[in-house]
Structure 1
Amino acid sequence: MADEKRDDPKKEQKSGFPQMSAMHVVIAIAVIVLAVIFIAKFGFGMDLISSSSGEMAIAKPRPVSPAPATIQKDVAVRPSISIRPDMLPSCDAPKTLCGDTCTDIQTNVNNCGACGNDCTSRDVKNVAEYGCANAKCTITSCQPGYGDCMNKGTTDVNGDGCETNLMTSESWIYNQYSSYVYQQKDPESKVYLENPANCGSCGNKCEGGSTFFGICDRGACRKVCWGTWLNCDNSWGNGCEQVFDDNNCGACGAKCPADSFCNNGCCVLKSDHSKAVADSLGVTCSGNIWVRQSK
Structure 2
Amino acid sequence: MARLAKLFRAALALSVVLVACSIDRTGTGAGESGGSGGTGGTTPCPAGLTKCGDVCVDTTYNQLHCGACDNACPETQLCAGGSCVTKCFGGSIQCGSSCVDPDIDPTNCGGCGKACASGLVCSAGQCQLACTGGTSQCGSKCVDTLSDGKNCGACDHACAPGTVCSAGQCALTCSGGTTQCGSKCVDTQTDPANCGLCDHACATGTVCSTGQCQLSCGGGSTQCGSKCVDTATDPLNCGACGTQCSANLVCQAGGCVLSCVGGTTKCGSKCVDTQTDPANCGGCGTQCPSGQVCQAGSCALSCVGGTTKCGTKCADTQTDPANCGACGNACASGEVCSGGSCTLSCAPPTTNCAGTCTNTSFDPNNCGGCGTVCALPNATEGCLGGSCTVAACDSGTGNCNDVASDGCEAVFATDPDNCGGCGNACAAGVCLAGQCTTSVSYDLAAQNLTTAGIAGFGCPPVQAYSSSATGPTWGFSWDDVLPASAVVSKITIEIERSSDCNDGFGAEPTTLNGASAGSVTFSPAVCNGCSTTPATFMLDLTPNTGDYVLGGQNTLLFTLTGPNFEAITENSAWGAGAYARVTLELL
TM-score class, shorter: under 0.3
Please identify which structure carries the higher helix content: 1
Please identify which structure carries the higher strand content: 2
Q: Which structure would you say has the larger Rg?
A: 1
What is the TM-score when the length of structure 1 is the normalising length? 0.25
What is the TM-score when the length of structure 2 is the normalising length? 0.15
